[in-house]
Structure 1
Amino acid sequence: MKVIFFSSKAYDKQFFKEANNPYGFDLRFLEVPLTPATAVLAKGHDVVCVFVNDTVSADILQELAAQGVKLIALRCAGFNNVDLKAAAALGIKVVRVPAYSPYSVAEHTMALILTLNRKTHRAYNRVKEGNFALNGLMGFDLFGKTAGLIGLGKIGLCTARILKGFGCRVLGYDVAETPEMQEIGIEFTDLDTLYKESDIISLHCPLTPQTHHIINKTAINKMKKGVMLINTSRGALVDTKAVIVGLKNEQISYLGLDVYEEEAHLFFEDLSNKVIQDDVFMRLLSFNNVLITGHQAFFTSNALQSIAEVTLQNIVAYAQQEELQNEVK
């Protein structure tokens, strides 16, 4: 099987080459993203492997089908960037990595919460400059605070366990309650109650038409004044302009983001020598109570190893005409 990777980095090559030893697939790595202009590079390959910000639209799928591609292998959990109807019509299968290391994202979520709360990023810079003043660095005890989690899949449940370990009361919202939620001690509730009672709100749900901009002006106005909002899931869950208004009127006192709705043209690249043209993103950076990381929550050696192994196992299943357990339809 010949597999071509788009939007690949050095770490992708490292982990996929190691995981490929038992299989011997012909792997080709490209740094360029999958676009209408680059889709032709898939000629002669059976499988196209893409990441979160590669666009797999109907026109691109048509081009891939013309090049003989039969399988789209997502090396990520999200699949909102793929036109599934077009893929099905063209006979192209789509597989994903539904879970890799939920601890990686949950722990990064906690890192954002702790950093925003105790302002360790600001303290670090102060100390390097010889400034040991504590003014402006006051935080609060997490013990006894109420944290609301929207989305209680594997990552949400891991986050809940960590928060319970800090002594937080944990509220949760999802499409259905499960026994595991009860075992952890999550109080299953509706969104309005979660907004009203949570000191910290963290997003862990997939991006669907129902969850698009789930955090909007109406939701923000229902939240506690001074709430901490965290998003390590999908950028488009948050209406960024509404959040900026919430920051300006101090409804939101802390904002931690690892994802951003328009991140495709920003994240995973070094733009330090360029002028960033996204005015909304630059406005976010102007707030001293906003912390943004560049979609790195998944980025642990454990997660990358798991992603490579599951992705290649998906390809093996396709090659051997087995049931595709991780197929997205």
Structure 2
Amino acid sequence: MQVAVFSTQQHDRECLVPALEAAGMTPRLFTERLTAETAHQAAGARAVCVFTNDDLHGPVLDALASHGIQVIALRCSGYDNLDVEHAQRLGIRVARVPAYSPNAIAEHAVALLMTLNRKTHRAWDRTRRGDFRLDHLTGFDLVGRTVGVVGTGRIGQAFARIMLGFGCRVLAHDPYPNADLQAAGVTYLELEPLLEASQVVSLSCPMTRDNHHLINAERLALLPHGAVLINTARGALVDTDAAEAALESGQLGGFALDVYEDEAGLFFRDWSLSGLPDRRLARLMQRDDVLVTGHQAFLTREALGNIADTTVANLTALYRDPEAQPEGRIV
């Protein structure tokens, strides 16, 4: 079976490709995103494998179906880039990787928080130039601070437990409170009271139609002055314009993001020579109170191995059995 793999990166060649080949599949690798303009490259393949910023909306699905594609494997957990109803109408079966390493995401969120708070990125830049002054490097102790966790699925649970280990008071918001977290000392609140009480807020909830710009100007205004916001979930959960304004006013004391609402077509590419085309993101990245990583929270050896194994299992099941129900099947 030929599999058209879009948005291919180095780690896909190192982990995913050997797994596909070991299962008797022939990967065809494309560095480009899957879009309406690139969908023709899937012609001749029996299945498509895509990542988080590939486009799986109506016109792209129509194009894939016209080339005989009936199986799509997402090598990620989120599927807000997929028109589920349209895929159903076309009879295209889709599966994702529902959980590859919650700890990887949670630990990256902690790394962002600690780096932004203790300003180790700025200190590293200084000391490598021989500047050992401590000016403007003051952070705060996490112990005793109130940390709000928005979304307590596997990732949110892992992050909350780490924060409990730091000695933080942990609040959480989720429509389905987790009894184990409550037993460990986590208090569940509605979103607005959580924001009002939290010096640090971390987002770990999925992207749905209902929570686009979940963190907007009105909700940022609820935060204690100088609070820190961490987003390793989905970029569009945060109104970036509102976040930039809150940083400018000092209402938001720090913003660390591994995801960005306009990252499609921007992340996973090298803009160092041509210059970043997104002026807003370029402005944010010039700020000392902003820390940006390029959607790398998942990038651990353990997560990549799990992604490869589950993706191959999904492709095998969906290709061989039209009625197969792999763990990550969406459609």
TM range (shorter): over 0.9
Q: Please give the secondary structure, in 2, of the residue aligned with 1:310.
A: helix
Classify the secondary structure of the residue corresponding to 1:210: helix
- Contact conserved, 2:4 with 2:30, CA < 8 A, in 1? yes
Query: Could you say which residue in structure 2 is the equivalent of 1:185?
Result: 185
Quote the residue 1:171 is aligned against.
Answer: 171
Distance 1:317 1:184 in 2: 39
Q: Matched residue of 1:18: which SS? A: helix
Q: Which residue of 1 aligns with 2:39?
A: 39
1:22 Cα offset (Å): 4.5
> Matched residues in 2 for 1:180 and 1:19: separation?
35
Q: Which moved more, 1:146-155 or 1:174-183?
A: 174-183
**1:312-327 correspondence runs (5 A):** 312-321=312-321, 322-327=324-329
- Work out whether 1:253 is the aligned partner of 2:253: yes
1:142 pairs with 2:142: yes
Report the alpha carbon displacement of residue 178 of structure 1 after superposing the two structures with TM. 2.3
Alignment size in residue pairs: 329
Instruction: Report if aligned partners of 2:152, 2:178 keep a CA contact under 8 Å in 1.
Output: no
1:271 counterpart = 2:271: yes
Where in structure 2 are the equivalents of 1:156-305 lying within 5 Å? 156-305=156-305
User: Partner residue of 1:65?
Assistant: 65
Name the counterpart of 2:90.
90
1:50 is aligned to 50
Q: Provide the secondary structure at the position in 2 that maps to 1:224.
A: coil
- Unpaired runs of 5+ residues, structure 2, are none
For the residue of structure 2 that corresponds to 1:136, the secondary structure is coil
User: 1: distance between equivalents of 2:280 and 2:291?
Assistant: 15
Deviations 1:231-254 (A, max 9, x none): 001000000000011001100011
Matched, 1:99 2:99: yes
CA distance in 2, matches of 1:78, 1:169: 29
Identity of counterpart residues, as a percentage? 44
Secondary structure in 2 aligned to 1:291?
strand
State the distance in 2 between where 1:312 and 1:184 align.
37
- Note the residue ranges of structure 1 that are not aligned, 5 or more in a row: none
Q: Hey, what's the Cα distance between the residues in 1 that align with 2:260 and 2:199?
A: 22
Q: 1:320: how far off? A: 3.0
Aligned to 1:18: 18
Q: CA deviation at 1:21?
A: 5.2
**CA-to-aligned-CA distance 1:183-225 (integer Å, 9 cap, x gap):** 3321111111111110100000000011110000110011110
Q: Secondary structure at the match of 2:201?
A: strand
Provide, for residues 36-76 of structure 1, a one-character-per-residue CA deviation record: whole Å limited to 9, x for no partner: 12111111211100011111121111111111101111000
SS at 2:228 equivalent: strand
Task: Find the counterpart in structure 2 of residue 328 from structure 1.
Answer: 330
**C-alpha RMSD over aligned residues:** 1.2
> Which segment drifts farther, 182-191 or 200-209?
182-191
1:82-126 deviation line (CA, Å, top 9, x unaligned): 111111111001110010011111010000110011111111111
1:160–1:184 Cα contact (<8 Å) kept: no
Give the TM-score normalised by structure 2. Answer: 0.97
Contact 2:33/2:265 (8 A) holds in 1: no
C-alpha distance in 1, partners of 2:325/2:257?
Answer: 37
